[in-house]
Chains A and B, each alone.
Chain A
Amino acid sequence: MKVRIDPELCQGQGRCFSIAPSIFDFDDLGNGVVIGDGTLDDDTMKLAQLAQSNCPEHAIFIEE
């Protein structure tokens, strides 16, 4: 499974990189970006799901 951020939906609310700094970072404008290719293992999956459930813009997707 992989996590990605839809840049069209992300408004830089910053919840993802505060909750899961090992998975998400921010760019110069403060928008969220995924570190690396976003592949999740069992541990990072939980964290990614927590970030997803806190993104006000519903911009985080976890998919095959």
Chain B
Amino acid sequence: MPLKFSPRLISALVVALIVAFVVHSNWGTASVSGQTIATFLVVGIALGGIYAISAAGLVVTYATTGIFNFAQAAIGCFLAFCYWQLTVKWGLPTLLSIAITLLIIAPAIGIALDRVIMRRLRDAALVVQLMVTVGLMLTFMGITLTIWTPKSPRSVPHFFEGTKGVHLGDVVATWHRIITVVIALLVAVALRFLLYRTRLGISMRAVVDSRSLAGLTGAKSSVISGASWSLGCMTAGLAGILIAPETGLVVENLALVIVVAAAAAAIAQLKSLPMVFVGGLIIGLSEAFSSVYLNFGTDWNYAPQAIPCVILFVALLFLPQARLETGKVRLTKRTERLTKPWEAALGGGVMIALVGAWANGWIPWFSGTTFGERSAVWLGRGVGFLIFGLIMLSLVPLIGWAGQVSFANFAIAGIGAVLFSHFGGQNGSPIGILFVMMVCAPLGLLIALPALRLKGLYLALATLAFAEFTDKVIVRHPKMIDPSATGVLFKPLDIFGIHISSDAADRKAFVIFLIVMFAILFFMLELMRRSRWARRWIAMSDSPAASATIGINLTTTKMAVFMLSGAMAGFAGCMLGLSQGALRVDSFPMFLGLPLVLLLAVQGVRYPVAAFMGLVGLASFPALSEVMGNPTWLTQVSLIGPGIAAVAMAYRPEGAVFYTGRDLAGLLPWRADAREEKALLDQRTRDQDIGRDDINDLGIDRPFTSEKVAQLDRVLSIADAVDEHPMVPTTGVTA
């Protein structure tokens, strides 16, 4: 056995050395005294407590419903604003406001989410589960921004603001912090009690692995999932209210807590509540440590904000390898026929014709609007949308085929843009593009590396962390983007004598160049779908266990698709840089990349044509707005709309392209097969839908004995975990 531990030991040593190095080289001016240590502990523990509360909610919902709620922090943010409205705006007493927020609004949101959305997701693909909650996240952020427009700054007061607090030596621990810590402890104890000592809680733990098992405990699954979502929302709200005075009542800041909560949840392997609190403390203390003792200097100004991302990455390195599970295959009743090469070519041609005609003004619609007249602004926007389309296209093989949900491609494109500004971009050489693609390919792989051997969800977390890391650390370094640099960083690209640049005069050429490139890549992907590579990726995504047993090496197969996707994102990145001319350090925030993934998923992540539909959808908001004379309601719709669309995926998981294709392919004269198949399929679904088990039928009431609990624990394989935490008695647990 000692040999098995050595890779971990080595990683641990390396990580420790790197941390020591970073700490040493960025040591600030503060000396290690009783006072600074006390400050560090007080701040760190309070922060850690808040993080742990949020992460605990995340883990509880994940463990009981199998869904990782990316919207956790955004819901917390919304609730924090509700609290502000009640207490600051309407002047209600603090306690009453908290009670209304956490005991009425939060459970209401939780139950509504469960009823309307989450129950449909139970057997959905990971992509759909993730996208729906990411969509929810953006929806809640959008709603909050719409109701509480960020014109005037708002702040939530600390509890007992203005009072002295408690003196710990020379340091004052404010009442707010003390209350925070006490609440965190109470939450920990309460959750522990709920999950291990109450009938509802034990059923909650049982339900995720086996619904029939949960039936044994005598609880209705609808009650269980409703309870766990309510619990998730309540913890989210509590964390939001506690942290708002520290970060300020700003939507982005509050929603970003999701990265921290995800890191703490990863440390807990998404299941162990005690470890959630350890994780929260590790992160809180690290942040406090860095703010008290370290000074990262101007070059790494934002590095402290990336601490949770780094901790998440490190945690992933130490997670145990995932087993290849069997029996988890979901068979969708989906028919589909491969696109024929000539159809793909035709499709690409239509795309070029449409966009080309618009750019050249051959479409006579909407004349009189700047959209119809294709002002320089609109051509510039067109360039932007096409680049987003390219990024979406790069996600098709990765997410759609190989099932690897990644949020990193926008960040990779950002890094590609920066690289291109250093290599090749300044002399208009297309060779630079190849170079950037060659760097971005392994970069895509590097991000995925820690998560390759883990469950798919961890990859999503890792890529989310990477996107945040890129925004806060990588592109902020002056060597990457020099904030003092002025003027254009890129020379026009010269392709067969045609200039392509951000210059107003070159934009039409840029649009046409991009749509041609887009169509070519689209065509290549459609051909690739018929190749053994795509088959292997899809096989791996459909059943990893079966793929392995026919000889597919999962690791190398995954690596290949990350490289392909990274290279494509790199190309998009070069175009992004070229189109912006100058690069700003804040152009690549994490939240900008998410809607792209969403949009693609809504359109149908398996189909290359979805990327085109996605970019059309993206363009349609500003275009419509212009054509309709800029109504304000449309702006609000565009804030919330993409999120709503993603939530709609709970009902239409395969994406718009699929349903449109299924319903409309029969209209094409040469698709008699589609007409027949549709008739057949309709018949079959009618037959099969009869007699599906109704989840509400599970409420069989049976005696709830300690024996049953032990059986549950064994099947859920938490028996070991219980042994490790002797504070929980294993006997005598009865309802």
Chain A partners chain B: no
A-binding residues in B (CB < 8 A) = none
B-binding residues in A (CB < 8 A) = none
